[in-house]
Structures are given as structure tokens and as C-alpha cells.
Amino acid sequence: MMEIANVSSPEVFVLLGFSARPSLEAVLFIVVLSFYVVSVLGNGIIILVSRMDVHLHTPMYFFLANLSFLDISFTTSIVPQFLANLWGPQKTISYGGCVVQFYISHWLGATECVLLATMSYDRYAAICRPLHYIVIMHPQLCLGLALASWLGGLTTSMVGSTLTTLLPLCGNNRIDHFFCEMPLIMQLACVDISLNEIEMYLASFVLVVFPLGLILVSYGHIARAVLKIRSAEGRRKALNTCSSHVAVVSLFYGSIIFMYLQPAKSTSHEQGKFIALFYTVVTPALNPFIYTLRNTEVKSALRHTVLENCCGSAGKRAQI
């Protein structure tokens, strides 16, 4: 037992990624880079507009700005290393880099689960308690809910990721994925990982199943409230208020549930990689479009911000 405990961790990990399909790597590099640029720009614009336009200084856009910042951070913790591995023959990541990557990605993924549940409560208050909405969703509560989301995700990541780093790997350093993910690090261990699996399933319940249950309960109340609205225009406005959030929840939770509520010793590696590619690269790039295409407030704020800056700059140049 002492011999296993003294086994040193590998200096580097080999991220196999899509190396079994070398002809696919060049295409993936272009696709992933495109989605990453769109994700950073799109979510960055939402954060900027939410801060600059006073009409968007509401709880809904406060949480949306948090989600956009989270999406930028999440993709940035994974995509640059992935692009480097796709571009060159080296498919490695340092031990320290791998640890940092799965600590951060686990933290941000868990935070998003809680944050989406918080946003559903905001939508519930807006539609089911419209007369008391401002009183219910006061700034202190919004800040507290946002902090609880970030700290809850951080706490879960610290526990689960730390337990994973304590596992002896006995020289195993080949990860059949494109980034360091906690369940896959667990598979490299040369000891029993039952305790780690139990912790992962408990964390999955607390941070995936439980928040999803809260979201479903919130939308159950919202659906009942919408059905009571007599005017078609009123029902349409209420549904438009929630449709973007429902789309984001469906995309995020659909892929996360598939990835994490299955045994760690799963054999569906290829399928898992493409699902992970979807929620780490595609979904964060789609979120800004989902929240802006049918959102007249954001589009109006964006036009106002652009026109104000352009016209203001032109006016200053004319004065000079």
C-alpha cells in the first residue's frame, strides 16, 4: 500500500482527442476556432451592452451578464489548449495545466447549473409575481444568488477535484479526450475509485438533478400562470420572456446529463467526445444568439450603444 501511495504523478498527460482521425483535425481546428471567436465576441458584447445601457440594469440582464462571463471563462479554460493540440503533432498538457483545467472546468460547469436555476426563479418572479417583482428580486438578493452560484460551484469543484488529484495514477497518462475531465482522470487510477464515483454522483444530483428540478417546478408555475392570461398578446410576451432561457437550459442540461450521469467506466468514448465538444464549444457560442435574436431589448440597446459611440466619435472629429 505504501508503494502505491508513493507513486509520483506523471509530468505530462497525453490528450488523445481526435488523433485517431487525423484527417478530421484540420477541419475541427477551423470549426472550433470559429466557434470560440464567436463565443468570446458574442458573450463579450452582451456583457458590455448590459453594463452600458441603463435600460438593461435589471435582474434578468444581471444574471445574463454572469452567464456570458461564465461561458467565456469556460471555453477559454479548454479551447486554447485544444486548438494547440489540433494544430501540431504534440498532444500533451503538463500535469499542472491538466489539474488547473479540470478544477476550473468543473467549477464553471457546476456554477452554470446553479446559475440557470437562479435565472428560472427570476423568470418565475417576473411572470407569476409581476406586481412584486421589483421587491422580490432586489439587488441584494440578486447579488447573493449570483455569489451562491459561483461559490457553490467552487466548493463542489474543490471537493471532487481534490479527491481526484489524490488518486495514484501509477504512470498512466493517456487521456482519451481533448481536455482533462474529472471522470477520465479517475479512470487512470490504479486503485479502487468507488468513493470518487459516489462523490461524483452525489455532486451530480446536487448540482445537476436538483437545480433541474427547481427549473421544472418554476416553469410548471409559469405555464399555469401563462394559461390564465386571457389575451393572446400577453401570452406571447410571457412565452418570449422564457423561450431563450428554456432553449439554453435544454442545450446545456441535455449534454451534461448524458456526460455525467453515466458510469465512469463507459465505453462510448467517441460519442462522449462529440457531446463534450458540443457543450464546451458550440453551446457557449449559441447562447448570445439565443438571447438576442428574439430579444428586442438587447437588440435596441445594441443599436443605441453602437449609434451613440459612432455618432459621438463623429461629432468629436467634426468639432476638431
Cell of 30: 477551423
Tell me which residue of 2, 1, 3, 14 sits closest to 188, measured CA to CA.
14
- Identify the pLDDT of residue 294: 64
- Tell me the C-alpha distance between 68 and 47, whole Å: 7
- Most confident listed range (85-99, 117-131, 259-273, 294-308): 117-131
Spell out a b/e string for 129-146, using b for 16 or more CB atoms within 10 Å of the CB, else e: eeeebeeebeeeebeebb
The conformation of residue 268, written as its DSSP 8-state character, comes to: -
Looking at the predicted structure, is the pLDDT value of residue 75 above 50?
yes
pLDDT at 317 over 60: no
Q: Are 94 and 14 in contact (CB under 8 A)?
A: no
DSSP summary character for residue 55: G
Beta bridge partners of 174: 14
- Can you read off the three cell numbers belonging to residue 191? 486503485
What's phi and psi for 13, nearest 5 deg? Answer: -110, 145
The DSSP call for residue 180 is -
CB 17 within 8 A of CB 82: yes
pLDDT tens for each residue of 118-151: 999 999 998 988 889 999 999 999 999 999 999 9
Indicate the pLDDT class of residue 116, thresholds 50, 70 and 90: very high
- Reported as a pLDDT band with limits 50, 70 and 90, residue 318 is very low
Outline where the chain has alpha helix (H).
2-5, 22-52, 59-76, 79-87, 95-128, 133-136, 139-165, 182-187, 194-204, 210-228, 232-260, 269-277, 283-293, 296-319
pLDDT in tens, 36-72: 999 999 999 999 888 887 878 889 899 999 999 999 9
Q: What is the pLDDT, as a whole number, of residue 107?
A: 93
C-alpha cell at position 79: 479551447
Sign of CA dihedral 252, 254, 259, 262: positive
The pLDDT tens digits for 142-192 are 999 999 999 999 998 898 888 888 888 877 788 888 898 887 888 888 888
Which of 38, 37, 111 has the alpha carbon at shortest distance from 74?
111
Q: For residues 233 and 155, is the Cβ–Cβ distance under 8 A? A: no
Name the DSSP letter for residue 176: S
List all residues 6 or more positions away from 200 whose beta carbon is below 8 Å from its beta carbon: 160, 182, 183, 186, 260, 264
**pTM given for the model:** 0.85
- DSSP conformation class of 56: G
Determine the pLDDT at residue 307. Answer: 61
Q: At what angle do helices 296-319 and 283-293 cross, to 10 degrees?
A: 90
